[in-house]
Amino acid sequence: MEEALHNSRMLGLLDQILHDPRTTLRVIEIAGRGIAAEARCHLSMPADDKRPNNEPQDVVVRRAQALADRVEEVCAIEDDLAAAWHRRRAETIDEASFGKALLAAVERLEAWQAGS
């Protein structure tokens, strides 16, 4: 898993959350859902294909723009989770509020993957 942690900001955040001594069982459960959702998102991303493409340029450009928009959505989810985690580590948010923020991020990630 260490290699994946280096390649995924989301997994790195979830790993930090799981290993924090203040983490509750409920947060561990939600983080586990997040790990599963992140894995499904990763699998739903198109592979980096180096083969020649015979499709018209406008089709390729539209597909690339749609992918960029979807990646931007995942980055926004990661940013929100990182901000909530930072507030939790700084103790400016309580565990219950952090759990709600984590759940919201995980649900967005699950919805993102379902929309692919």
Q: Say whether pLDDT at 1 is over 70.
A: no
- Measured between alpha carbons, how far is 7 from 103 in angstroms, rounded to an integer? 23
49 lies in a domain?
no
Residues of the domain holding 99: 2-44+56-114
Task: Domain count for the chain, please give it.
Answer: 1
50 lies in a domain?
no
Residues 42-88 have pLDDT tens digits of 887 765 555 567 788 888 888 888 888 888 999 999 999 999 999 99
99 lies in a domain?
yes
37 lies in a domain?
yes
72 lies in a domain?
yes
> What is the model's pLDDT at position 5?
46
> What is the model's pLDDT at position 47?
58
The tokens describing 57, both together, are: 């340029």
81 lies in a domain?
yes
77 lies in a domain?
yes
Residues 78-116 have pLDDT tens digits of 999 999 999 999 999 999 999 999 999 999 999 988 776
- Measured between alpha carbons, how far is 14 from 35 in angstroms, rounded to an integer? 7
